[in-house]
Structure 1
Amino acid sequence: MTATPLLTALLPLVSDLSRELPDHERYRRLLQAMRGLLPCDAAALLRLDGEWLVPLAVDGLTPDTLGRRFRVSEHPRFEILLSQPTPTRFASDSDLPDPYDGLVNAPDVELHVHDCMGCPLMIDERPWGLLTLDALRPEQFHSVELDALQAFASLAAATVTAAERIEHLALRAEHERQRAETYRQATHHDRQLIGQSEVHRQLLEELALVASSDLTVLITGETGVGKELVAQALHQASRRADKPLISLNCAALPETLVESELFGHVRGAFTGAHGERRGKFELAHGGTLFLDEVGELPLVVQAKLLRVLQSGQLQRLGSDREHHVDVRLIAATNRDLSEEVRQGRFRADFYHRLSVYPLHVPPLRERGRDVLLLAGYFLEQNRSRLGLNSLRLSADAQSALLQYDWPGNVRELEHLIGRSALKALGKQPARPRMLTLTARDLELALSMASEPCAADPARPPVGLIEGGLRQAVDQFQRQLLQQSLARHGQNRAAVARELGIDRANLSRLAKRLALD
């Protein structure tokens, strides 16, 4: 390759180094220029994060690729690229599995990558990440000069360094540096807070803002949106990150044990208390206590919690001794607690003490194409778990994911991908090299049909038409009970509180409706 075309491709990128551009735009321009100079079907820029490679930008690969997290040890080509200081070109007939098999943007054809080359990005003489190029035609890179790729790798390293330097200058103030670190923590693969939508970005910015404080945070959102992951990210980005994060699911405990779990007890405090035990507050001393499903707490416990939050003092059950605790509280609920207060089921003073900083996690249906990034993350997890070379989505499967309403949110998507991959693999006569999930494999039409829909005032309930009023009432009660049991994991105490009936009546009703 002559110097003139190389310089022509590199000069605009060199001028970008001094410009303030969003990172994703800076990296996109880099890959676009590289594909113009080194013709290929796909290119990617990946950042090395411990034992993982995280895609920062892709060109020519399916959208879900950005949500995938590649464990280096599971991908021998990545291992080889990272181990070499200079570019590497793999033979077209190499038997090493390619991480991008099936991900090149031709989703309706099972095309395997045939030519692959890549180069590590070195910053301060250490590998920062990878630049990769892939082609579907064998020997496409045979005539490509590796020096050209090396030049691009050097420019890519300079681009990354420039992006980080510009970001550092822009975040000169201390609180802004804390926000940037929190944002980085929140987007770390371990916490799986993956997304690029505007509502997701706003959530991360708010998370970054409040994480470095000691304010009590109330995380709200529908079931399955990832409230616990948000709580973990808040703790990891706080000044208490080196202290414990203690979690308690308030809906999973009988009322008689909630106080003991929270405050601890002494020997003889109640039947079965054979020794002293520290509660969650004492275990979280110096760190963070996360109360999940806080709306399920009994009123009497709410009053005692309020005292601890206000004074930092608690007493174990059966003891008069005071214990001082220093705990940051994070709570989560899928309920409208302000409505619960109006209905007398939640203390107003406790609600206001909890909601010092409300943080709402948006439902998946409001996050647009984030669903494909999250699907990519779960696809890569299941590819590894099932021992496949490639696990991908067809075009109609991608469309189905984008059109579905996701009443169960991210948790539903995670379970759907795992279930569909296992079922699709079970239908194969022999273990395939590449497994493609179609819309039919996802069975989303069946899922949507089985989801309870809002009542249509112009359309009487099915039971009323088919079997009279009593059958319609039974059908409606059964549906309510099944939904509540699904939400609370068969916790009958929580179900009874939600439905406003006592435990005995709930048991009788469940038995009559054949749910026991």
Structure 2
Amino acid sequence: MMLKKSLLDVALALTKASSVDHNFSYLLSCINDWLECDAVALLLKQGDVLKPVALHGLSDDTLGRRFKIAEHPRLFEICRGSEPLKFAKDCGLPDPYDGLLQSQHGDFPVHACMGVPLLSSKDNNELLGVLTFDSLDEHAFDALAMNELNQLKQLAAGYVEHALTLQHFMQHAQHSHQVAQQLNLEALTREGVEIIGNSQAMQTLKNDIQLVAASEFSVLIQGDTGVGKELVARNIHLNSKRRDMPLIHLNCASLPENLAESEFFGHSKGAFTGAHTARQGKFQLADGGTLFLDEIGELPLAMQSKLLRVLQSGEVQTVGEDQSRYVDVRVIAATNRDLKQEVAAGRFRADLYHRLSVYPLHVAPLKERDNDVILLAGFFIEQTSKKLAIKQLKLSSDTQLLLRQYDWPGNVRELEHVISRAALKAKQQQWQQSIVTIEPEHCDIAKTAVAAPSPVAVNEQKATRLSLKEATDAFSYQLIMQQLELHNLNWAATARSLSVDRANLVRLAKRLGISVKKSV
């Protein structure tokens, strides 16, 4: 047997392997350039079996085989030792490759065989796998010195361990991305992504979302509690270039002040009392994606300055570490507070406010969204009917009027809960009916009308003493009150009946001392 190259040549070739070349076939190619034989194979240990991952000179179907170590004596002997092993020519142990050599004609047994166990340098010499060499020449490996085989063992083991580590991280990263993406999509699907509503306020909001989503601008979503600010954030993310990356949610109102920095930026093991393991922060988890900071107005001032630094530089420093790392994160923030007033009061940093509100969005309260309440009620009814196993669930016309007239201080969230409770009550009362109808009595909301005394007393005695303006106001007062009662205190319906703009009607009524109050 002749060695075509030296082991130094093999070592140099392996060290020059690029990330693309860094695979097991490349290792065998380098070994083939050093040692001439009929077959060489790399098998990795997976539990109690050896799995071929690369081979030269063996039939292709060998890659599909799984060799149970205990059932193949030669492989068993290679695995249980720590040194390269040459099998004697007259060894009676069966060879796992008999009949599989491509250069062999017929089913004659292999004449020369040796194996090299590959041990980890990190995990207590754990067996990573084996290299096997076969030749039809029974003297093929006789001249190989044991020190050369041990050098090969070290080179090959180091290469395999490095390749396995790279594979692990690549697979882990891909798996984490897929899991994050899947969880993200599942969460979005489960919680809903469609913004329900045809009102002018919602149409404007949807247009703004489409416009800003395509950019990388920071977005500040403002609106009352329960209007659906998180839904807006999800829509911005889904319509952005980052849609396939994670959307990470952090509620700033629920952060203990002493742990806020760790939640944002992560911590290393032992960074503080209780930090038994290292943990990634929300910025690291959102790298490449979007970070949604809910209730940003509740963030302590000390934490605001640290958040501002990250938004300015993109650098995150893990608690307990000196080194910083760059993250690519788009920030969407939301609050039910008026941050301009918070800035004026000194409770929120002006520079952070301007950094967050590159593109501000306002989500209108439900009471300003015209007929959207009925559309939303229908959406929640469909969801609730499935949860309660109701074949058909509907709203009566009186209930629809009631829902329109209520001012919904809890906004969309309150509407959802009202529908859920009402459906449960209706089902209990109408359990024998195929169609369950939600009536006003099932809804725990009510309406009341309060009108201030007429600005003028219209009676026969004083009528002759009224000015034209006073008489007009008196007539308007009575007519508006009459139409309000006729239309169940609905301003929009009243305005239509009087052929006036709703906003103008409300202003006139306010001047005349008429108001409509609705209460739970």
Q: Give 1 or 2 for the bigger CA radius of gyration.
A: 2
Greater relative contact order (CA < 8 Å, ≥ 6 in sequence): 1
- TM-score, L = length of structure 1: 0.49
Give the TM-score taking structure 2 as reference length.
Answer: 0.49
